[in-house]
Amino acid sequence: MPDQDSGHYVSHYSIAIDAPIEVVWENLIDVGSWMYEFELSLVSGMPGEEGEVRRLYDGQDFLIEITKVIPNEVLVFANLPLSFNGEHSTGVAVITLDKVNDRTKVRLTMSRRYSSESGATNTQKSMRESAEFSERSKAMWQDRFLGKLKSLAETECRLLAAGGRCEYF
């Protein structure tokens, strides 16, 4: 049962991309190419492989780890446990790729849990529950990040098609 000082947030975003799954995947697995507003410095592991750990914010221990890779199908991240400004957080992001109506459908679902440490009031909870926070999150993940992934994959596919190497579906 949730308590009054914890919050659990689930976000769903999706985008249709005019490029084959393989081309979308190549760009997706290069997380820094489309999640460009984060630092994403490599902390450990091999890029694009399970166990890869990256830092999201400069000077903070906010880390994400690739926990599952099913090439051309599923990419799963875990937000490693973090305590910051009196709050404890964890989370997971699942990204799937599917062929839908001759396009690649990318679906992103993020689930995050934030709780107050030491029983103190969680001052961030009301901010995360606001419409303004939801709109900012949507603008970042849907419009900018997934929009960038779409642009990268579609541009790559056009370049490959010009050379006769991008057979779409």
With vertex at residue 38, the alpha carbon angle to CA 64 and CA 103, rounded to the nearest 5 degrees, is 85
Cα distance between residue 38 and residue 74, in whole Å? 21
Closest-CA residue to 42 (of 33, 32, 54): 54
Q: Give CA–CA dist 107/97, Å, rounded.
A: 7
The pLDDT tens digits of the residues spanning 2-45 come to 556 677 889 999 999 999 999 999 999 999 999 999 999 999 99
Q: Which of the four pLDDT bands, split at 50, 70 and 90, describes residue 145?
A: very high
pTM: 0.88
- The number of beta carbons lying within 10 Å of the beta carbon of residue 106 is 23
57-73 pLDDT tens trace = 888 888 999 999 999 99
Q: pLDDT averaged over the chain?
A: 87
pLDDT at 126 over 80: no
pLDDT value at residue 74: 98
Residues 80-113 pLDDT 10s: 877 777 777 889 999 999 999 889 999 999 998 8
Indicate whether 161 pLDDT > 50.
yes
Query: For position 122, what pLDDT does the model report?
Result: 67
